[in-house]
């Protein structure tokens, strides 16, 4: 007798309920809107909104500014399924619970993930308010959502993370930003568990490792996406200088204020990128 795979069963039930709610929409691009970046969901046309709590087996968001719902509709001429707010490990979610909505997107037919977040700049040439295309990441959360028996039933557990952030999508994002006159960087992102911000000593260590930005999300979601073969584009808003750089001592309020100030350019850039995907 074969052993039950509860994760697969749960995903099937979640997908059935979400399909019923979004109707005949067939999303091709999944979006994760990070801290302060959720207002972009308001520009999705013909939208259906489904709170996470109404999807079986989904955890709910508790972080500031994270609304905690799926928004499905049209952005840049494409059918998108956006997460207006994400799930974090620091909220008490396991790695698989953080990854769950990405696996769910794949179950619904999404083949491209556009993950965004707010991050602190380790690279001192970056400026607060810049956008940074993620070239690669360092997963320093100490967790991997594919660890365990059940994810192997979704897709084979061993997979390459070479070019985890799709080179063609990164090039598209750079070219789009150039055409719009929006300043972008490209660098290595380091993800931590949080919720405390980093110490100056940690930031010095991360710089030595080659990290350009740092925050408390993205890595586990991207691992889940690559596990199922999804193409990934990652982009951070540089919302603060990392702790100790130029005397910086980051706060949640600072992150949200910068996101508010850069909301219009983020919407222009993200919409244009989706349109060209």
Task: List the binding residues for phosphate.
Answer: 35, 66, 86-88, 118, 217
With H, G, I as helix, E, B as strand and everything else as coil, classify residue 190: strand
Contact (Cβ atoms closer than 8 angstroms) between residue 132 and residue 186: yes
Count Cα neighbours of 215 within 13 Å in the Cβ-side half-sphere.
Answer: 29
Cα gap 141→191, rounded to integer Å: 6
Q: Give me the residue label for tokens 């070479």.
A: 162
| N- to C-terminal Cα separation, the chain | 44
Q: How many CB atoms lie within 10 A of CB 259?
A: 21
Dig out the tokens for 88 from the structure.
């974090």
Q: What sign does the dihedral 179-185-191-192 (CA atoms) show?
A: negative
* Residues 6+ away with beta carbon under 8 Å from 200: 243, 244
Residues making up the binding site: 35, 66, 86-88, 118, 198, 217, 240
Cα gap 273→111, rounded to integer Å: 15
Residues making up the binding site for a purine D-ribonucleoside: 198, 240
């Amino acid at each position: 007798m074969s052993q039950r795979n509860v994760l697969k069963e749960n995903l099937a039930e979640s997908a059935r309920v979400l399909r019923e709610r979004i109707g005949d929409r067939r999303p091709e691009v999944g979006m994760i809107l990070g801290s302060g970046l959720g207002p972009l969901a308001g520009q999705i046309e013909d939208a259906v909104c489904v709170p996470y709590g109404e999807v079986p087996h989904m955890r709910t968001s508790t972080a500031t500014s994270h609304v905690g719902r799926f928004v499905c509709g049209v952005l840049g001429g494409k059918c998108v399924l956006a997460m207006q707010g994400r799930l974090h490990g620091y909220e008490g979610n396991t790695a698989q619970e953080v990854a769950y909505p990405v696996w769910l997107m794949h179950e619904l037919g999404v083949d491209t993930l556009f993950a965004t977040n707010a991050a602190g700049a380790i690279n001192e040439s970056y400026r607060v308010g810049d956008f940074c295309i993620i070239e690669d990441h360092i997963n320093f959360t100490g967790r991997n959502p594919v660890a365990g028996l059940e994810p192997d039933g979704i897709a084979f557990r061993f997979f390459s993370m070479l070019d985890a952030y799709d080179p063609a999508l990164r090039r598209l994002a750079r070219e789009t930003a150039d055409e719009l006159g929006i300043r972008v960087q490209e660098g290595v992102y380091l993800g931590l568990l949080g919720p405390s911000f980093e110490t100056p000593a940690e930031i010095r260590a991360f710089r030595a490792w080659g990290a350009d930005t740092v925050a408390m999300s993205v890595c586990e979601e991207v691992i889940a996406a690559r596990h199922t073969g999804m193409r990934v584009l990652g982009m951070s808003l540089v919302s603060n200088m990392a702790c100790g750089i130029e005397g910086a001592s980051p706060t949640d309020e600072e992150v949200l204020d910068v996101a508010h100030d850069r909301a219009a350019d983020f919407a222009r850039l993200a919409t244009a990128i989706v349109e060209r995907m």
